[in-house]
Amino acid sequence: MLVKLMNLLRACWRPSSNRHARTGSDVTGRQDGLLWYKDAGQHVNGEFSMAVVQANNLLEDQCQIESGPLSFLDSGPYGTFVGVYDGHGGPETACYINDHLFQNLKIALFPFLSTISAFGFQFAHKGDHPFFHGLYLGFASEQNAMSADVLKKAYEATEDGFFSIVTKQWPVKPQIAAVGSCCLVGVICGGMLYVANVGDSRVVLGKHVKATGEVLAVQLSAEHNVSIASVRKELQSMHPEDRHIVVLKHNVWRVKGLIQVCRSIGDAYLKKQEFNREPLYAKFRLREPFHKPILSSEPSISVQPLQPHDQFLIFASDGLWEQLTNQEAVDIVRSSPRSRPVQQVAAVARLQAATCRLQAATRGFLARHQARQAATRLQAVGCRSLAHRLASILCVEQHASLGAARPSVGLADPPLQFTVLIHGHVDDKNTSSWVALSPLELAVAQVVQLGCARRLIRAALQEAAKKREMRYSDLKKIDRGVRRHFHDDITVIVVFLDSGLVSQASTHRGPTLSLRGGGGSAGLRSNTLAPT
């Protein structure tokens, strides 16, 4: 009987693979130097914007957004999964989470899968087989679909899976025991928001206040960084016998003087004594043995219903929050225009450029500083950092049209008109079109199209440059590795919430999406786990 059952299961399942990792993948985004971005896209519950900038020699951040069925069945439940994985000590753990956490969540949604996965199988046909479909319906009726317990089990399975990698690679690659990652996850399903976190990444909600018209920042994730007094106190209470469980080192609080976060995925060297010995580098080895885990992988989890006044969510690694406050980030997203249809981008560009020209003409064009003042009009579409550049283009363009000599603004003589390819979307579909624009209109169009996630990263980099008393343009010229002295890797995913879609049941079928930023699809420099 058992043999017959296994033969039937083999018809429905096949050995585990990355088959589902990129099923239904959307356009993989664009890359500009150390920046990768996807300015706009659609998910089941609205729109999203996504960006990653590299600072480390090897990109340690990973991220993903998955939208559509949250189980292995096409029948759902449907929702949106967002993950931000901020690695430390190397990219291996973050890469592993990016490849396995969402799949582990799918398994946790269906207990029967946990049993089958022990045999090394993974479902291959999304429940099309009537035997499996019947079993699923029976279990699903008892499961109540998405829950905090499902998220907890997904984290546990991911931690266990990575530890198995560490165990296998320890003899040839012992330093993998000192690699770990923060792990922030958000799941939108059935009108509910589920947030799980280990480490110091953060998700912030933009909540509209009807009485004042403001959009307030509300932090939804708990952080596990010992720079926070309450976190230090909690860790000390868990290790009362260890007076050095947290150490102030170079004005920074660290667990055992080594790491700032007290919860993570990975970091086996601070969870199991067997990995805190030679041949691990001496700087990671503790002087005294420990008998219980120093770090934890248990996530802080919150569950809350989404309300009509909840406008958007900002998921980001701590690289963003080191530079911007919660409210500053929310204000940037609120004031940013959303991705527009192609012709609307061109129309807005022409209108703003015409306004800028008119102001310059009425104020006395030949004075360059007055042209710069005119360019500040474009701040309404978020181009504060480009005001000088736009003013320079305006000077060149108008002098050329008047037949005057080109002012010395450090720019080559531009043609009076460019034919450019503008990207946008129409009827929820990505599209592009060739449009004729003047130099100023082109610059404005580039600003109008800037996605919210890119705007947040740009604002963070501007702040990082300001702290070091340097120009933003000079910071952008610094290569990876050296760039880490100025800022960390930064990952941002902005998820807009369409209240009409969010309020629908989890059976709502929206666009299917599987997109990975960072090393997953960006081409930014990362590496992968050694063969196991």
Is the same domain home to 407 and 429? yes
Is the same domain home to 363 and 421? yes
478 assigned to some structural domain: yes
Question: pLDDT digits over 375-386, tens only?
Answer: 444 444 444 444
269 assigned to some structural domain: yes
Task: Look at residue 140 and tell me whether its pLDDT is greater than 70.
Answer: no
Residue 364 has which token pair?
Answer: 């006395």
Q: Which of 397, 417, 450 is the last residue of a domain?
A: 450
Task: Look at residue 465 and tell me whether its pLDDT is greater than 80.
Answer: yes
* The pLDDT of residue 451: 85
What residues make up the domain containing 438? 342-450
Q: Which of 418, 450, 482 is the last residue of a domain?
A: 450
137 assigned to some structural domain: no
CA distance 428 to 67: 15
Q: What is the CATH number of the domain that holds 271?
A: 3.60.40.10
Question: pLDDT digits over 332-344, tens only?
Answer: 999 876 644 444 5
Tell me the mean pLDDT in the region 193-211: 96
> Lowest mean pLDDT: which of 76-90, 132-146, 298-312?
132-146
- Decide which of 12 and 15 is more confident: 12
214 assigned to some structural domain: yes
Is the same domain home to 403 and 494? no
Q: Are 136 and 73 in contact (CB under 8 A)?
A: yes
Is the same domain home to 270 and 312? yes
Task: Work out how many domains the chain is built from and give that number.
Answer: 2
pLDDT category of residue 407 using cuts at 50, 70 and 90? very low
pLDDT category of residue 40 using cuts at 50, 70 and 90? confident
266 assigned to some structural domain: yes
Is the same domain home to 181 and 322? yes
> Lowest mean pLDDT: which of 97-101, 150-154, 158-162, 287-291?
287-291
Is the same domain home to 379 and 312? no
276 C-beta neighbours (distance < 10 Å), count: 19
118 assigned to some structural domain: no
393 C-beta neighbours (distance < 10 Å), count: 25
531 assigned to some structural domain: no
* Cα angle 263, 154, 100; round to 5: 95
Q: Which of 426, 450, 474 is the last residue of a domain?
A: 450
Look at strands 252-255 and 180-181 and give their pairing: unpaired
Question: pLDDT digits over 315-329, tens only?
Answer: 999 999 999 999 999
> Lowest mean pLDDT: which of 13-17, 227-231, 298-302, 457-461?
13-17
- How many alpha carbons fall within 13 Å on the CB side of residue 85? 34
Q: What separation in angstroms does the CA of 90 have from each of 72, 311, 333, 479, 521?
A: 31, 35, 31, 18, 18
Task: Look at residue 442 and tell me whether its pLDDT is greater than 70.
Answer: no
Q: What separation in angstroms does the CA of 297 have from each of 13, 407, 490?
A: 30, 61, 22
* The pLDDT of residue 406: 35
Is the same domain home to 46 and 194? yes
CA distance 324 to 330: 10
Is the same domain home to 168 and 298? yes
Is the same domain home to 376 and 471? no
* pTM (2 d.p.): 0.74
Percent of all residues in the chain with a pLDDT value above 70, rounded to a whole number: 62
Is the same domain home to 34 and 178? yes
Task: Look at residue 530 and tell me whether its pLDDT is greater than 60.
Answer: no
* Cα angle 193, 199, 204; round to 5: 40
239 assigned to some structural domain: no
Is the same domain home to 402 and 445? yes
Is the same domain home to 357 and 478? no
